[in-house]
């Protein structure tokens, strides 16, 4: 069934677990993620990252995501990831998305606030949830291109979310969930991420709302459990599942002769399903509050 992000994350917040958000720019990934969630009977978020419009346009994949969500036996949120403008948010809402992210984090603080306020005012008319970002999520340079225009690496601490500003941001905008930067990066990790757990804890305590962790694939089970214990309720998980599918396809091509393309889609779907299932098991089991 299709549910809003607010509904999905409020339950997670009450019961201290996280819901996985999986970008699904191919039919293989939509099917893999939905089947995995249904087999495990866990809630899930099907995301379309605006940057993946180059892979498949929102207008094509959007109705497919909504259709899968509506028919699913578990709660599914259909979410726009890193929406760049009110115009694109409107397109997603028109297609039936139950949640949108507006990413204005690269703008000045005041402009970020006013942009998000505008999106919240619009989305709330349709009962659609809003996620916004404070601080800057960078990319490792290998995949993870969701935030076009952001420099890879993130060497300056300025890119991390300030817990006091986070409180002001959430109060002023009325968002349902905050994408916070505390050490994860988009894409494949080239070095071990240094997560700032104290910062995360302070952010969650200050905002009293679900925290979203971007760049959420590629962490250890212990790291997942710890961030969930500290208030992360939505984990964006993509790059490692996409790589897992590519590896399986590569092996398949090296091993088999007379390969047909449809065989590769079946192998890719199974690889994504196996990978996201492992993540879902970790995310969905209730955690001890830390
Ligand atoms: Zn992101």
Distance separating alpha carbons of residues 230 and 257, to the nearest angstrom:
49
Single out the catalytic residue among 81, 176, 196, 275. 81
> Which value, to the nearest 10 degrees, does the dihedral of the CA atoms of residues 252, 258, 259, 260 take?
-170
Distance 106 CA to ligand 1 centre (A): 13
Decide if 203 is inside a domain. Answer: yes
Classify residue 240: in a domain, yes or no.
Answer: yes
Task: Judge whether residue 149 has pLDDT over 50.
Answer: no
Expressed as residue numbers, the domain containing 80 is 5-284
**How many CA atoms, within 13 angstroms, populate the side-chain half-sphere of residue 73?**
7
Distance of alpha carbon 74 from the chain centroid: 18
In a domain? residue 289: no
CA-CA distances (angstroms) from residue 33 to 24, 116, 128, 190, 218? Answer: 8, 29, 22, 26, 17
How close is the Cα of 50 to the center of ligand 1, in Å? 10
Q: Quick check: is 290 in a domain?
A: no
Around ion ligand 1, residues with a beta carbon closer than 5 Å are 146, 214
What's the 215 CA to ligand 1 centre distance in angstroms?
6
Residue 198 to residue 204: CA distance in whole angstroms:
10
As a whole number of angstroms, the distance between CA 147 and CA 139 comes to: 8
Say what the pLDDT of residue 148 is.
Answer: 42
Q: Is residue 59 part of a domain?
A: yes
Q: Which helix (H) or strand (E) holds 121?
A: helix 109-125
**Reduced to 3 states, what is the DSSP secondary structure of residue 79?**
strand
CATH number of the domain where residue 92 is located: 3.20.20.70
pTM over 0.95: no
Q: 148 C-alpha to center of ligand 1: Å?
A: 10
pLDDT band with cut points at 50, 70 and 90 for residue 290: very low
User: Is 168 one of the catalytic residues?
Assistant: no
Angstrom distance (rounded) from CA 225 to CA 140: 23
- What is the whole-number distance in angstroms between the Cα of residue 125 and the centre of ligand 1? 25
Look at the block and give the residue holding tokens 């409180």.
Answer: 167
Count of other CB atoms within 10 angstroms of residue 94: 11
pLDDT confidence bin for 147, thresholds 50/70/90: low
Whether the per-residue pLDDT at 136 is higher than 90: the answer is: no
For position 151, what pLDDT does the model report? 46
Q: What is the pLDDT of residues 2-51, one digit of tens each?
A: 999 999 999 999 999 999 999 999 999 999 999 999 999 999 999 999 99
The C-alpha torsion from 20 through 25 and 29 to 30, rounded to 10°, is 80
Gap from CA of 3 to ligand 1 centroid (Å): 21
Kindly tell me if the per-residue pLDDT of 70 is higher than 80. Answer: yes
Q: Which two tokens stand for residue 103?
A: 């990413």
State the distance from the centre of ligand 1 to the C-alpha of 68, rounded, in angstroms: 23
Q: Give pLDDT tens digits for 234-247.
A: 999 999 999 999 99
Measure 89 CA to ligand 1 centroid, in angstroms.
Answer: 16
Q: How far is the CA of 19 from the centre of ligand 1 (A)?
A: 15
| Number of domain units in the chain | 1
Provide the mean pLDDT of the chain. 93
Provide the pLDDT for residue 289.
52
Report CA 226 to chain centroid distance, whole Å: 18
> 224 near 282, Cβ under 8 Å?
yes
CA of 14 to the centre of ligand 1 (A): 24
The reply to whether 37 falls in a domain is: yes
């Amino acid at each position: 069934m299709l549910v809003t992000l607010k509904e999905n994350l409020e339950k997670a917040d009450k019961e201290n677990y996280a819901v996985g958000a999986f970008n699904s720019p191919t039919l293989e990934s939509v099917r893999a993620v939905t089947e995995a969630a249904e087999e495990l009977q866990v809630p899930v978020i099907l995301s379309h990252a605006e940057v993946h419009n180059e892979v498949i346009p929102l207008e094509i994949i959007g109705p497919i995501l909504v259709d899968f969500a509506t028919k699913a036996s578990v709660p599914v949120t259909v979410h726009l990831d890193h929406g760049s403008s009110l115009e694109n948010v409107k397109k997603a809402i028109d297609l039936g998305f139950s949640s949108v992210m507006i990413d204005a984090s690269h703008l000045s603080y005041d402009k970020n606030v006013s942009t998000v306020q505008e999106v919240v005012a619009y989305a709330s008319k349709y009962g659609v949830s809003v996620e916004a970002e404070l601080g800057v999520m960078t990319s490792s340079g290998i995949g993870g291109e969701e935030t076009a225009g952001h420099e890879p690496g993130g060497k300056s601490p300025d890119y991390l979310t300030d817990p006091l500003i986070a409180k002001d941001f959430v109060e002023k905008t009325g968002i349902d969930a905050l994408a916070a930067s505390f050490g994860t990066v988009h894409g494949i990790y080239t070095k071990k991420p240094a997560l700032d757990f104290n910062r995360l804890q302070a952010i969650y305590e200050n905002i009293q709302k679900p925290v979203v962790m971007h760049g959420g694939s590629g962490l250890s089970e212990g790291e997942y459990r710890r961030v969930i214990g500290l208030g992360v309720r939505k984990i964006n998980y993509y790059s490692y599942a996409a790589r897992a599918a590519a590896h399986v396809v590569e092996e398949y091509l090296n091993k088999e002769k007379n390969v047909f393309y449809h065989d590769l889609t079946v192998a890719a779907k199974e690889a994504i399903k196996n990978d996201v299932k492992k993540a879902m098991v970790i995310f969905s089991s209730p955690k001890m509050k830390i």
